[in-house]
Structure 1
Amino acid sequence: MKRKKTILGGCLLMTVSLIAFTPERKTPAPGDIEGAWEIEGNPKRVALLVDGYFTVTTYKENAPEFISTMGGTFSYDGSAMSGALEFNSEAADQVGANFSIPAKLDGDKLTVTYEDGSSENWTRVDKAEDNLSGVWRITERESEGEMHDIPLRARRTLKILTGTRFQWAAINVETGEFSGTGGGTYTFENGKYTENIEFFSRDNSRVGMSLSFEGDLQNDNWHHKGKSSKGDPIYEVWSRFE
């Protein structure tokens, strides 16, 4: 018998079946459901949907505070979103659970209906149409003057970008371990990539910082050079994650 459980990660209410599986990565049509969505308020909720991957994050902007995040794979058939969780900052045991939740798209509004009959209206922030839009995985990092490969393992760091928003997440898709996340808005112009941090799970004092990097997009590899939020020099290569 399938065991049902309700996920309430401070982000999004979903009914899931706790049967682990690996769903086919289906990409919704550009201009459809893909992009950044939000529910304004304090706390604020932001959802990123791109290339068959989603994140939903809750955080406070005034007196900055990270609250929770979750994410994973998804597909959308016009009436419901379904997929599997790959991380949940509040409930590691829910990683691997699959879900299906009614969702209706009407222009720049997305209505999500929960199992108790209540619903929420999300407002579109952007569409995932920028060159950097997609899901990226860090695949190389410079250390002591040499580049070192970072092979794909269960423990991974992903960065999800839509047209104007970004979020990175360090996760383990097998154990459910959540190591950290950060996100906000970004720009990428004339070889300069700038992040404006709106939430940072490890240190709320980082909120409000702007970090600029040299950015060079070479096919499906994004070369990223500058200084971290701690001021340490970094040179990384991120590759599109399929």
Structure 2
Amino acid sequence: MRITFLLMALIIGTTVNAQSVIGAWENYETNAQGKQLRHVVIFADGYQVLTTYDAQSGAFVHTNGGLWSLEGNTMTETVEFHSDDASYVGKSVSFEIRLTDTSLQIVGDARVFKRIDDGTPGALSGAWLMSGRKRNGEMQERDTSRPRKTMKILSGTRFQWIAYNTETKQFMGTGGGSYTTENGKYTENIEFFSRDVNRVGASLEFDFELIDGKWHHSGFSSKGDPLYEVWSLRD
């Protein structure tokens, strides 16, 4: 019996340690105006983003994000961008979380986030910075260490891009939703767009290819302009 108990304890302990926040999570709530808001958080390796938008109209409400780490049950986040209050940029905050395979909760916060995915099945899960763009047939490289950044964070099924500046603390815009990667095609389904709510509901298909670890992305923008971008994973 003692051996059986120890084995069970080992199995349970291994299961707990194997739990990961990597992937996408969601929570729904109704605000004072009776509108249903959707909160979505995406965790990639080392970076995360939390966004709130109207679940029906896609109207953008808020986003913030940056670096994260987890030691035991203590999560620490360092803010790189904040759509409401630039004074948060550069600051770190630590808090306790409760994590299971299917739920995520900050201790002391009544909201429980349910898992959307665990970083699969999409081929582009991670945090990416735009590192190049083709203009007039010529590739122009972009220094990813500069404070002005365009970042995309993807889970296995969710994506979000964010334009911001860590030096000036300016937030320029964001958009996101769900995505798929099939047969060399990357398809975005836009669910929110901070600059133009009329873009909500659009689906955009691009060709994509991973070359030497970089994401090559080509097609047409939501405005109908041709584009060719290169994205590099963040360290």
**TM class by smaller structure:** 0.7 to 0.9
Query: In the alignment, is residue 208 of structure 1 matched against residue 201 of structure 2?
Result: yes
In the TM superposition, 1:16-27 aligns within 5 A as: none
Match of 2:59 in 1: 65
In structure 1, list runs of 5 or more residues that go unmatched.
Answer: 1-28
Deviations 1:195-222, CA, capped at 9 Å, x for gaps: 0000000000000000000011123201
Match of 1:228 in 2: 221
Match of 1:126 in 2: 117
Tell me the CA shift for residue 31 of structure 1. Answer: 5.4
In structure 2, list runs of 5 or more residues that go unmatched.
Answer: 1-16, 30-35
Query: In the alignment, is residue 219 of structure 1 matched against residue 204 of structure 2?
Result: no
- 2:153 and 2:203 map into 1 onto residues whose CA distance is 18
- 1:171 and 1:51 map into 2 onto residues whose CA distance is 20
Query: In the alignment, is residue 142 of structure 1 matched against residue 148 of structure 2?
Result: no
Deviations 1:126-170, CA, capped at 9 Å, x for gaps: 011443110101111011111101112100100000000000000
Tell me the CA shift for residue 173 of structure 1. Answer: 1.1
Query: Structure 2-normalised TM-score?
Result: 0.86
Deviations 1:91-142, CA, capped at 9 Å, x for gaps: 01110010011111022111112xxx44321100001144311010111101
- 2:210 and 2:18 map into 1 onto residues whose CA distance is 21
- 2:218 and 2:109 map into 1 onto residues whose CA distance is 45
- 1:170 and 1:118 map into 2 onto residues whose CA distance is 29
- 2:140 and 2:148 map into 1 onto residues whose CA distance is 17
- 2:216 and 2:179 map into 1 onto residues whose CA distance is 16
Match of 2:169 in 1: 176
2:28 to 37, 40, 45: 40
Query: Structure 1-normalised TM-score?
Result: 0.84
Aligned 8 A contact 1:187 1:194 in 2: yes
Query: In the alignment, is residue 55 of structure 1 matched against residue 49 of structure 2?
Result: yes
* Matched AA of 2:204: L
- 1:43 and 1:191 map into 2 onto residues whose CA distance is 33
Answer with 227-236 or 36-45: which moved more: 36-45
**Structure 1: 4+ residue segments shifted above 6 A:** none
Shift of the 214–139 alpha-carbon distance from structure 1 to 2, 3 Å rule, reads same
Match of 1:190 in 2: 183
Aligned residue-pair number: 211
Aligned sequence identity (%): 47
Match of 1:76 in 2: 70
Query: In the alignment, is residue 86 of structure 1 matched against residue 74 of structure 2?
Result: no
* Matched AA of 2:215: W
Query: In the alignment, is residue 106 of structure 1 matched against residue 94 of structure 2?
Result: no
